[in-house]
Structure 1
């Protein structure tokens, strides 16, 4: 009797394991076209939703080809403008390729956020803001001046929605006093973020009047006017660690693919070049909405990376100085000075 029960148990257990194995094989097999379509649609909604497209439709899926890649054609439309975009999907269905590979599942810009080092960087806005804008900028770059004006207005009009973090990326091959400005800015920032933003605006306001011959003196004046204590400022400029901090910021930008200024990372999404204020507002609104509905990360979109770092509490942007005049006309290019 016991032997019969044991054999029956073995049979039932074996049959159950067979079902589990078959189920596992089904789950580990290639994704169906319906699954691919759903993933691509979700990814593009995340990537392009801020543009408020009238139509975003996966029209065809073909393949796989000899390498296992499947081709997906997507129709994008807004108003009277239509475009067909082609994407390639990797065999495991985890990556989508359009010029470069992006993660198809999860948040495609999480890897960028993980690479961003925020400790000690000048910051403005609530640490709990749903949108974090990390700006790689050159204080001698005219397009960075334009982008700073856009961000200032954004922060003043819609406070609490975004946090701005400044990263130095001087383009020394074409901007002769940009490294001096970056090191001066680093020394001002070490005495407080609020002073740094005043310093940044003062430099941008006088940008076209600064020359290499007078840069050191003018930057020192701006530092003093921004509230920096000059003995500490002067000592900071002499320390090798100050130059090393700027070089570390440049190296960080390069690891993230930064080649020109300004380059922004909006919740990790790379935005090379200055973009119009209306588009920036649309992008920030989209990211804030996505954060609320999808809970990108705890304690803000960069919350897990910010904990323990010296970002501190909310630092409101100081009022714009009377001498600060943003660009009145938008140049043809929106990016400054591609780094060789």
Structure 2
């Protein structure tokens, strides 16, 4: 298909793999870890698999020894008047097993982690197979896709990019901006979308960054999407639900509530969350009589979960994750945010 990305050749791919070495920032995992630690390790794998674009070279020394052994075997066979084909890496075991063994060792996934690899299917790039990986442990799971050369020798952790398409258009098409909290001109040239969690300390840092950045760029429209991390933040869902109800009463009220929750994160606990969040909502200008039935309505939580599903579809695994006209920024990175804003302002 002409719109699909084309990879030059397997030899070029192998050469690239020899040049670019895989990068790992994942901490070693011990046999017993907290639920939160297990969840974050899984997210680290998923994020790296989806964004690193680095080649993982599997045991190059061992491969060299195998090649040397194969040559010696062929030499011996010739001297004996016989021939025996050299064994390819894939012949020593299924691709699924090789991928699982490699990832388990790479990320120190012990018996507490369940890893499902496969199916293996052709990718848009002819020299690569696409292999799905699902990993789960206590309290969380995630999926990612890796790519393996057809001889089973090399694995690519990253995205295949279609050079014939718009690199940002697909992301923007997946973003549903209707009904979300927003501020800035509706016809803004630049759209900044945050998937955030009101209990998340890093999201609070980003909020403080945006309070200084956004006034400098009036051509930016900022949109906040709910993405509460329920497994590690016990009152984040309650904060998101209350925020949805405040938004129904007005955008100005929502942003006052939004900032108040971040400013007072340290005062909120699972035990007092309902009352504290209600207090901040009323202080922001929302009426308590309308808030309480809205908070209790299951449809409100469903709206939050729809926002979360949208984030999952965009491979959001941590907060804050921000998209500047489709470009992903993870964390409160002011320099990168301004770089993207300034670039789009000039083009």
- Superposed displacement of residue 225, structure 1: 1.1
Query: 1:64 matched to which residue of 2?
Result: 9
Contact preservation (8 Å) 1:131, 1:266: yes
Q: Deviations over 1:66-96 (max 9, x none)?
A: 7x969779x9xxxxxxxxx989x9469xxxx
Candidates 126, 141, 155, aligned match of 2:185: 126
Distance 2:16 2:250 in 1: 50
Taking structure 1 as the reference length, the TM-score comes to 0.58
Query: 2:64 matched to which residue of 1?
Result: none
Query: 1:281 matched to which residue of 2?
Result: 338
Query: 1:332 matched to which residue of 2?
Result: none
Q: Deviations over 1:24-74 (max 9, x none)?
A: xxxx8x99xxxx9xxxxxxxxxxxxxxxxxxxxxxxxx94227x969779x
**Worse overlay, 107-116 or 196-205:** 107-116
* Matched ranges for 1:1-340 at <5 A: 63-65=8-10, 90=125, 99-160=158-219, 162-275=220-333, 277-290=334-347
Distance 1:210 1:240 in 2: 23
Distance 2:308 2:298 in 1: 16
Q: How many residues align?
A: 218
- Superposed displacement of residue 187, structure 1: 0.5
Contact preservation (8 Å) 1:63, 1:71: no
Taking structure 2 as the reference length, the TM-score comes to 0.57
- Superposed displacement of residue 238, structure 1: 1.5
Unaligned runs of 5+ in 2: 20-52, 56-123, 128-155
Distance 1:63 1:181 in 2: 50
**Which ranges of 4 or more aligned residues in structure 1 deviate by more than 6 Å?**
68-73
Distance 1:127 1:70 in 2: 48
Higher relative contact order (CA 8 A, sep 6+): 1
